[in-house]
C-alpha cells in the first residue's frame, strides 16, 4: 500500500516523493514474494472487476449499496472492468435488483449457517470470493456491519484496508486512488494498493450519489459453494430486538437542522427540533455539542460522526471546523446562521445569515407556520 500526500507541496516535497517511490517498490517486492510463496503469479491485468459487498437490511439492500453501485459503475467504466457484487445469505431475489442498479455479475453464497449475519461465516464467504476472483477493488459500506467485516476480510486475504474514503480517482497510470482525510483532516491522503492485491476500502453512507435503476437490466448470477461448519461460527444470535423508532435518520433526511456550541443549551436545540419538524426533517449537531451532552452521540455530524447529503442543511451556531464540514460537503444547499460574520461556516454556505439564532429562528418559525406547514416559501 502506497500513501501519497495530496497536500500542498511545501518543504520536503521532493524527498517525500522519493521516499514514497522507494517504499512502494519495497512493498511491491514484498507482496510479490508473498504471492510467489503461495504459488500465485499476479499481474495487474489479471486482477478482476470492481466488487461491491451487497449488505442487506431486512429483506432488501442497505441504501449504502446503491451508493456504492453508482460510484462503482463509474470506476468500472473508467478502468474497463466489470462491476460485480457479492451477496451472502438467502437473498437470491435481490440479484435482479443489483443488476438493475448497474452490477454486471452477482456472486451468491447460500448456506444454512449464513441466514443471519455472523462475523465468522460472512468473513469466510467474502474472503473465498476474493481468493477465487482476485478483484481489482472491493468496496464496503462504512456501516457497523461493513466496519466489522472489512478488516477481517482484508486480514484473511493479506491485503490493506483504507477506511472512510471520501473520493476515488483514476491516476495517470490508470490506478485507482483511494482518498481519505488524514492527520485531523489537515490533508487528504491518496492511497494506492500495489503488488496485485485487491484495493479494499470502506465508504461512509451518504458520500456518493445513488445509482439510477434501469428496470429489466440483466446480468450474470453465479452461485458459489462454501464449506462451512457450525464449529467455525463462534457467535450465536439469541434474539433480535427492533430499535424503538426515534428521530428520522440523518443519512436519509431531506432536511437537516444542526447546532453547535453556539446554541448554548438544550432549550436552544428544542427550537431547532421544532424547525426541523416543520420541514419534515431531523436535527443533528457538531462533535463538541455531542461531547457536551446537548445532542445524542449518534446525531453527531462530521468526520468522526455521520456523513450526510441532504437537500437542505441549516447550520445554527456552528463555527465551521473542517472536521464538521467534511460531513456535510455533499449537501445540496447550506444555510448558515451565526452571529459572528467571520465564522468559517459562511465560506461553505450558499446562504449566510449574520444573526443571533434566538432572534432569527422564532421569526422563521412564525413565517413557516403561516404557510400551514408548507415550507416552500
> CA gyration radius for the chain?
23
Q: CB within 8 A of 220, min separation 6: which ones?
A: 104, 105, 106
Distance of CA 3 to CAs 135, 161, 194, 278, 326, Å?
A: 21, 12, 10, 46, 20
Contact 256, 301 (CB under 8 A): yes
The answer to whether residue 279 is domain-embedded is yes
Q: Output the average pLDDT for the chain.
A: 85
Q: Which of 89, 202, 191, 196 is nearest to 141 (CA)?
A: 202
The answer to whether residue 101 is domain-embedded is yes
Same domain? 145 vs 193? yes
Show the domain range for 135: 2-232
pLDDT on residue 247: 66
Among the residue ranges 181-185, 285-289, 342-346, the one predicted with the least confidence is: 181-185
Domain boundary among 232, 258, 280: 232
The answer to whether residue 244 is domain-embedded is no
Helices vs. strands in the chain: H and E counts, helices first: 10, 18
pLDDT on residue 111: 94
Same domain? 268 vs 219? no
Render pLDDT for 202-222 as a digit per residue (tens, 0 to 9).
998 888 889 999 999 999 999
Among the residue ranges 82-96, 164-178, 219-233, the one predicted with the least confidence is: 164-178
CA 145 from centre of chain: 12
Same domain? 58 vs 175? yes
Contact 89, 115 (CB under 8 A): yes
Please give the average per-residue pLDDT across 13-27, as a whole number.
41
Domain boundary among 200, 232, 264: 232
Percentage of the chain exceeding pLDDT 70: 84
Same domain? 323 vs 177? no
Same domain? 60 vs 162? yes
Render pLDDT for 225-271 as a digit per residue (tens, 0 to 9).
899 999 999 998 888 777 655 567 888 899 999 999 999 999 999 99
CATH number of the domain to which 326 belongs: 3.40.50.1220
Same domain? 280 vs 325? yes
Q: Which residue has the higher pLDDT, 311 or 252?
A: 311
Render pLDDT for 109-150 as a digit per residue (tens, 0 to 9).
999 999 999 999 999 999 999 999 999 999 999 999 999 999
Is residue 1's pLDDT more than 80? no
The answer to whether residue 41 is domain-embedded is yes
Distance of CA 63 to CAs 67, 249, 255, Å?
A: 7, 12, 18
Number of domains in the chain: 2
pLDDT on residue 319: 95
CATH number of the domain to which 74 belongs: 3.40.50.620
Q: Which of 325, 248, 314 is nearest to 287 (CA)?
A: 325
Domain boundary among 199, 232, 265: 232
β-pairing, 105-109 with 83-88?
A: parallel
The answer to whether residue 125 is domain-embedded is yes
Contact 27, 191 (CB under 8 A): no
Q: Model confidence at 285, in pLDDT bands (50, 70, 90)?
A: very high
pLDDT on residue 243: 63
DSSP, residue by residue, 201-252: EEE-TTSSPPPPP-TT---EEEEEP----GGG---------PPPP-SPPGGG
The answer to whether residue 242 is domain-embedded is no
Is residue 11's pLDDT more than 80? no
Same domain? 87 vs 171? yes
Same domain? 173 vs 272? no
Same domain? 256 vs 344? yes
Same domain? 14 vs 157? yes
Same domain? 203 vs 269? no
Q: Model confidence at 303, in pLDDT bands (50, 70, 90)?
A: confident
The answer to whether residue 269 is domain-embedded is yes
The answer to whether residue 283 is domain-embedded is yes
Claim: this prediction has a pTM higher than 0.85? no
Same domain? 51 vs 181? yes
Amino acid at each position: 500500500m502506497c500513501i501519497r500526500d495530496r497536500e500542498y507541496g511545501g518543504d520536503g516535497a521532493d524527498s517525500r516523493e522519493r521516499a514514497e517511490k522507494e517504499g512502494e517498490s519495497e512493498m511491491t517486492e514484498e507482496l510479490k514474494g508473498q504471492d510467489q510463496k503461495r504459488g500465485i503469479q499476479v499481474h495487474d491485468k489479471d486482477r478482476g472487476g470492481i466488487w461491491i459487498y451487497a449488505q442487506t437490511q431486512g429483506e432488501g439492500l442497505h441504501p449504502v449499496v446503491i451508493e456504492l453501485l453508482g460510484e462503482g459503475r463509474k470506476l468500472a467504466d473508467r478502468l474497463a472492468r466489470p462491476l460485480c457484487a457479492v451477496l451472502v445469505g438467502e437473498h437470491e431475489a435481490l440479484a435482479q435488483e443489483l443488476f438493475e442498479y448497474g452490477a454486471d455479475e452477482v456472486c451468491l453464497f447460500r448456506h444454512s449457517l449464513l441466514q443471519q449475519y455472523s462475523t465468522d461465516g460472512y468473513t469466510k464467504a467474502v474472503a473465498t470470493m476474493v481468493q477465487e476472483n482476485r478483484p481489482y477493488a472491493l468496496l464496503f459500506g462504512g456501516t457497523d456491519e461493513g466496519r466489522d467485516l472489512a478488516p477481517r476480510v482484508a486480514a484473511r486475504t493479506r491485503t490493506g484496508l483504507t477506511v472512510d474514503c471520501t473520493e476515488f480517482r483514476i491516476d495517470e497510470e490508470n490506478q485507482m486512488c483511494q482518498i481519505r482525510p488524514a492527520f485531523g483532516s489537515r490533508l487528504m491522503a491518496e492511497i494506492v494498493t500495489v503488488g496485485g492485491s485487491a484495493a479494499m476500502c470502506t465508504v461512509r453512507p451518504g458520500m456518493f450519489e445513488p445509482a439510477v435503476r434501469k428496470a429489466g437490466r440483466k446480468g450474470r448470477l453465479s452461485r458459489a459453494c462454501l464449506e462451512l461448519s457450525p464449529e467455525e461460527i463462534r457467535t450465536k444470535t439469541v434474539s433480535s430486538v427492533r430499535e424503538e423508532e426515534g428521530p428520522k435518520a440523518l443519512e436519509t433526511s431531506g432536511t437537516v437542522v444542526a447546532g453547535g456550541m453556539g446554541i448554548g443549551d438544550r432549550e436552544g436545540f428544542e427550537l431547532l427540533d421544532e424547525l426541523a419538524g416543520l420541514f419534515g426533517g431531523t436535527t443533528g449537531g457538531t462533535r463538541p455539542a455531542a461531547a457536551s451532552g446537548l445532542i445524542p452521540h449518534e446525531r453527531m455530524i462530521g468526520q468522526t460522526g455521520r456523513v450526510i447529503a441532504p437537500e437542505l442543511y441549516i447550520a445554527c451556531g456552528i463555527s465551521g471546523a473542517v472536521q464538521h464540514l467534511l460531513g456535510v460537503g455533499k449537501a445540496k444547499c447550506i444555510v448558515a446562521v451565526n452571529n459572528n460574520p467571520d465564522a468559517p461556516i459562511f465560506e461553505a454556505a450558499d446562504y449566510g445569515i449574520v444573526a443571533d439564532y434566538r432572534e432569527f429562528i422564532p421569526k422563521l418559525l412564525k413565517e413557516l407556520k403561516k404557510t400551514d406547514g408548507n415550507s416552500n416559501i
